[in-house]
Structure 1
Amino acid sequence: MYVDFLGSSRCTRIPRHMALCYDIGYSEMRIPNLLEHESMAEVIQQSTSWLPLLARECHPDARIFLCSLFAPVCLDRFIYPCRSLCEAVRDSCAPIMACYGYPWPEILKCENFPIDHGMCISPITNGTSSSRRMPRASCRDCELEEASTAKEILDTFCANDFTAKVRITKKNLTSPVLSDFDMDAKLEILKHGPLAKADIFPMLQQWLELDATCVQNIMRGTRSGTYVISGNIQDDKVVVNNAYAWQKRNKNLQHAVRKWKHHKCRS
């Protein structure tokens, strides 16, 4: 399926409007590429369909893997991605693709790629590193809640395992793949449910690392903000289901938070 020799391939500059691979770290690519796309128009059309997946930040090496195929670097031979790179990206990204009804494509079947050696592209990110955990697959995009009544907010608190008021700051403003977030240690725990209060902060820190897309959806492009978030505990991980921006104009949210201490949930 893949080309094994340069043949009639030629070097060409990666155009600025090829968003997937422009500014990837090299400026020229070979065409036809390793997916046998014959023209730049075809390359751009096919590569654009992968941009939403990159936006989900399913794996920090996903862009490198895809660009090694769509825009192979212009050397005297084709450099394939190693099988381990394909497997790492597939294992993190395929579950998210499945959320939207897309299977991992046959053309990217990892068995097509060489077992690791010095002449293929190996994973850059260490998947076992505590500082670069892989995002979890989530078929439900969490979003910032719009205006709700105090009663509806209280019902939300009742329906979830925990509720906390947190301040989140975005640290990395330039990374094209990953964003790093900080959470103020002085969080206010309204409900801790089955968790010990001391466990809430480290589990929310883990959530910041594992579900960057959810955090970005909540923050809506702002650099920092205070939020009241509610969620459940699944497989020893936090899943945020609801989030409200803590703002002076949101009187219903402030009223619900004040009333929560004396509120009785309906069984």
Structure 2
Amino acid sequence: MPGTQQQFLVLLVYLLIWDSPGVFGSYRRSSSRCTSIPKSMALCYDIGYTEMRLPNLLDHETMAEAIQQSASWLPLLARECHPDARIFLCSLFAPICLDRLIYPCRNLCEAVRSSCAPVMACYGYPWPEILNCNKFPEDHELCISSITDESTSSRRMPRASCRDCELEEPSSAKEIMENLCISDFAVKIRISRKNKTSTIADFDLDSKLEVLKHGPLLKTETHTKLQQWLDLDATCVHNIMRGTNAGVYLISGEMQNDKVVVVNKAYAWHKKNRILQTAVRRWKHYKCKA
């Protein structure tokens, strides 16, 4: 179990211990209901608890609405902008089923906003007013606080930037091969747009793949994981394709928690691109630095 999730479970136990009437006000059971978090709610399924309240803290009345609205945040999580982003979002989309509503603390909101808002701005989306951090309780109150210590964390935040998911223009074959060395996987794929009138959604992956490097990406799941990437990170795919309806690309990236594909580099495949052709030809015999 990842360290962040372990810390989150400890926090939940703390909240359960302090869940007594009269403290911070009670929550009316009659105004809401407890329901299981379904697998189709990918954002919050397996978050550390199994039941949530509806309506949630974003006033979504039905599970269908909560699932639909929460799915729009999956691409941001794929960009790994902050380790606590999922905890923050799920505290709102799928609040834990206690006798009262437990809001995220203001410091958690501010930490996630400071790292994720710049990434959202890269794609033209402002931090939404519905997530205004001033609306959330102070850190000394009963609330879900920030788990990650950013001053000691070894993870760079945010990992994504405005240059992520842009076609690369390599200066040498060695540059490409060194990038492949530090990547978990590298695959040559053909992407096409299902709906040519769509702007950033509905992309399809050709069945033929040329895998240069598998890494943790198993052969049996390569196509499925890459199609999942097309579905979850459509904005990234749109940036790579630059308005074309179909194209062949050499992509590389990492596996996030051995589950989600995150593409970091992409090169447009052209037969006349001698640098790319040379890199792929030499890659089979290239020895990466230890």
| Structures share fold, TM-score greater than 0.5 | yes
For 1:6, the equivalent position in structure 2 comes to: 27
Aligned to 2:273: none
Report the Cα distance in structure 2 between the residues aligned to 1:255 and 1:37, rounded to whole angstroms.
Answer: 53
Q: Which amino acid aligns with 1:63?
A: R
Q: How does 1:26-105 map to 2 (within 5 A)?
A: 26-105=49-128
Aligned partner letter, 1:119: L
How far off is 1:81 after superposition? 0.4
Q: 1:5 to 1:107 in 2, by over 3 A?
A: farther
TM-score (norm 1): 0.57
Counterparts of 2:70 and 2:137, CA distance in 1: 22
Instruction: Give, in angstroms, the shift of residue 168 of structure 1.
Output: 2.4
Cα deviation digits, residues 64-88 of structure 1 (max 9, x gap): 0000001000011111100000000
User: What pairs up with 1:16-31 in 2 under 5 angstroms?
Assistant: 16-31=39-54
Question: In the alignment, is the contact (CA less than 8 A) between 2:252 and 2:265 conserved in 1?
Answer: no
Unaligned runs of 5+ in 1: 146-151, 171-216, 223-239, 245-249, 258-267
CA gap of 1:138–1:11, structure 2 versus 1, over 3 A, is: same
Describe the shift of the 1:100–1:25 C-alpha distance in structure 2 as closer, same or farther (beyond 3 A).
same
Over the matched positions of the two proteins, sequence identity in percent amounts to 66
Say if 1:142 and 1:218, in contact at 8 Å, map to a contact too. Answer: no
CA displacement at 1:144 relative to structure 2: 7.6
- Check whether the contact 2:116–2:158 (CA below 8 A) recurs between aligned residues: no
Shift in CA distance, 50/11, structure 1 to aligned 2, threshold 3 Å: same
Q: What RMSD over aligned residues (CA atoms) do the two structures have, in Å?
A: 3.5
**Compared with structure 1, are the counterparts of its residues 241 and 71 closer, same or farther at alpha carbon in structure 2 (3 Å cutoff)?**
closer
4+ residue runs over 4 A deviation? 142-145, 162-165, 240-244, 254-257
When Rg is computed on C-alpha atoms for both structures, the one with the higher figure is 1
Shift of 1:119: 1.2
Q: Is the 8 A contact 2:79 2:160 kept in 1?
A: no
Q: Which residue of 2 aligns with 1:253?
A: 279
Q: Against the structure 1 CA distance between its residues 83 and 255, is the aligned structure 2 distance closer, same or farther, given a 3 Å change threshold?
A: same
Task: Kindly indicate whether the alpha-carbon contact (under 8 Å) linking 2:80 and 2:160 is maintained by their aligned counterparts in 1.
Answer: no
Equivalent residue, structure 2, for 1:219: 253
